[in-house]
Amino acid sequence: MGYIFLVLYLCFLVSLSEFLYRGKYTLNWIKNHGNSFIFTFITLLLLFIMIDVLILNAVISLILISSFYLIISIINKNKISYRGDPLFPWDFEISKESRDMLKTFGDKNMIMDITLVVINISLIFVFRNVFYNLIILKNMRVVFFLISILLLCKFYVFPNKKIQNKVFKLEENIFELQDKSFYNLGVLIFLLKNIKSKKIEIPSNYSKKTVNKIVHNNFAKEETVNKKTNVVSKNRKKKNPNVIIIMNESFWDPSLIKNLKFSKDPIPTLRNLKKEYTNGYIASPEFGGGTSNIEFEILTGCNMSFLPTGTMAFNSYLKRNTESLASIFSKKGYETIAVHSYKKWFWNREEAYTKMGFDKFVSVDDFVKPVKKGLYVSDSEFVRKVIEEKENSLKPVFIYGISMQNHGPYNYKRYENLEIDITNAKDKKRLEEFKIYTQGVYDADKSLNELIDYFSSKEEETIIAFLGDHLPMIGKNFEFYKENGFLSSKVLANFTNEERKKIQSVPFVIWSNFESKKEKIDLISPSFLGAYILNCANIEKTTYFDYIYNLSRKMPVVTKRFFCENHAKYVNELNDYSIIQYDKLFGENYIQEAMLY
């Protein structure tokens, strides 16, 4: 009787945990992905047997296993709600950042989540007499323990990937969409399957000869194109212009949600600049957070597509001194400064900026009595700090600035006055959040105007690149976007390619106070934007940045967040890019010795 009850309970537990995220689609998942349901059940059973053999208490074993499973399911549900990504094993490495954000966000549902865990424990105690009968014979304990260990290792530590992908209907390629994989597998199997995914394997054909060949081939093919597409006037005397990149928190164009009506344009400055200056959209590798990964791409020219989804590059992969825009500008006589109006330790920025060659890092701790607007330092105050850093320097500057004002949550009490009214929304509560967000965008746009007004009056040549990092999550689970016609698919795993592209595309503009050629760029990866800016500034590029600049002219987007024609058309080039990136981040850095010419 006890064993039958155990089977029923574990089946109930799997269904409950999946229901937390899937809701009414849970039965569809069980029906269409029964193999995943069964494997989750088997995994829980093996974990139960393993722990029960060790502590000889079936009730405590069930409490430990079920509580662990429910807690990761709850964390997964909340992460998807706010970020659009499922829970990964490496998320536990950034627990400090997660706790810091949790203090800001808060969530009334947390009480319900804790209550659910407590109810589950209480349920086990109510039926404890049934579970106490689950006794494994003494002479079989070691056997059961070893079998459990061996099977778990075979499933998750030393798996046969081909069999695994066939059983779970997964794709075997670097651009596999992790949210689709998660939707197929379920919380537990997805988490355990990714335990080994963080390790970056050495490419099979990696060598100095391979790196040299890739670099030479790329330049030979692109030399003509490169000459035709140089956006800087060759008649201009080289003066080492100031270069300022402003990455504005969650900056996007709210009016792209066509069903909504706005009392005035939320981004008038950006819209006017787009008429005269180079502009377009970047294909952000993140949604709702993960700002440092966009920094990583722009500054290093490396692409998150070749790293595991959900990892934070600054925390996990930037472990040695790495060539970046900062180190390049520094060698050209610039003072290189990072400015961020938040905590220095967040996303391991202090260490990462040092490894990338910045001379100075200005965090919120270095602001003197900063003016806040809402929860964070205002964008206007942030821009004043950027200007101050420029004025205090005796050299031309390269400044990489990251704002904070418009970071979530978008609580309706955040601002006293809202300058833009928005109507025609389906959900009034989420509309209030969206109004708060839009006010932040409007303030960001005004701060851009302040920055450009200041440098317009200066004789020093200056380039300002202004961009967003990612779209915001308004409400939970993309509901605001769905309700108001921006998205139509109900479940993330079923988003069309066009929908995926929409939620990953944020605007940018490149302004300068000297003659430059305007170019309209439909979409470009952040990893290519840094090389593009070097070209605009007429700064001699290193071999690596020359390589990715040439590459970007024929395949401007490399992302695993949505499908691009590039992925099918330039398979060899994508593989080459991954090898060059491996060489730069983890390998022997042969690229430093390779010559394009």
Alpha helical stretches, state H, 33-175: 34-55, 58-83, 95-105, 109-126, 128-131, 141-152, 161-168
249 and 360 both lie in a single domain: yes
| pLDDT tens-digit map of 518-562 | 899 999 999 999 999 999 999 999 999 999 999 999 899 999 888
What's the rounded mean pLDDT across residues 467-494?
Answer: 90
- Pull the structure tokens for residue 446: 């005004």
106 and 158 both lie in a single domain: yes
186 and 219 both lie in a single domain: no
Per-residue pLDDT, 161: 67
177 and 220 both lie in a single domain: no
- Pull the structure tokens for residue 443: 């303030």
99 and 175 both lie in a single domain: yes
Domain count, the chain: 2
Per-residue pLDDT, 176: 60
For residue 69, tell me if it sits in a domain.
yes
For residue 158, tell me if it sits in a domain.
yes
For residue 597, tell me if it sits in a domain.
no
94 pLDDT higher than 80: no
229 pLDDT higher than 70: no
Mean per-residue pLDDT of the chain: 87
Most confidently modeled range among 212-226, 366-380, 408-422, 481-495: 366-380
Coil, helix or strand at residue 355: helix
pLDDT band at 227 (very low <50, low <70, confident <90, very high): very low
Could you tell me which residues come within 8 angstroms of residue 433 by beta carbon, excluding any fewer than 6 positions away?
A: 409, 410, 411, 412, 474, 475, 480
pLDDT band at 108 (very low <50, low <70, confident <90, very high): low
318 and 406 both lie in a single domain: yes
What are the backbone angles phi and psi of residue 362, rounded to the nearest 5°? -105, 115
Per-residue pLDDT, 320: 95
What's the rounded mean pLDDT across residues 101-119?
Answer: 71
Last residue of a domain, one of 131, 158, 193: 193
353 and 395 both lie in a single domain: yes
What's the rounded mean pLDDT across residues 422-433?
Answer: 87
132 and 226 both lie in a single domain: no
Question: Is 26 within 8 Å of 15 (Cβ atoms)?
Answer: yes
256 and 116 both lie in a single domain: no
Question: Is 62 within 8 Å of 131 (Cβ atoms)?
Answer: yes
For residue 202, tell me if it sits in a domain.
no
For residue 152, tell me if it sits in a domain.
yes
Per-residue pLDDT, 569: 85
Alpha carbon distances (Å) from 31 to 26, 280, 547: 9, 44, 49
What's the rounded mean pLDDT across residues 161-183?
Answer: 66
Per-residue pLDDT, 493: 80
For residue 205, tell me if it sits in a domain.
no
Last residue of a domain, one of 193, 220, 236: 193
181 and 273 both lie in a single domain: no
Half-sphere exposure in the Cβ direction for 321 (13 Å, CA): 6
CATH number at residue 559: 3.40.720.10
Per-residue pLDDT, 86: 86
230 pLDDT higher than 50: no
Helix, strand, coil percentages, rounded to 5, for the chain: 55, 10, 35
Global confidence as pTM: 0.89
For residue 198, tell me if it sits in a domain.
no
Beta-strand pair 462-468/422-423: unpaired
- Pull the structure tokens for residue 453: 């007004």
Choice among 234-248, 311-325, 469-483, 503-517 with the minimum mean pLDDT: 234-248
What domain range is 426 assigned to?
Answer: 210-592
182 and 255 both lie in a single domain: no
Alpha carbon distances (Å) from 127 to 9, 49, 120, 133: 11, 18, 11, 11
Per-residue pLDDT, 316: 92
158 and 267 both lie in a single domain: no
| pLDDT tens-digit map of 329-385 | 999 999 999 999 999 999 999 999 999 999 999 999 999 999 999 989 999 999 999
Last residue of a domain, one of 193, 224, 258: 193
Neighbours of 416 (CB within 10 A): 7
Coil, helix or strand at residue 100: helix
Per-residue pLDDT, 169: 62
For residue 388, tell me if it sits in a domain.
yes
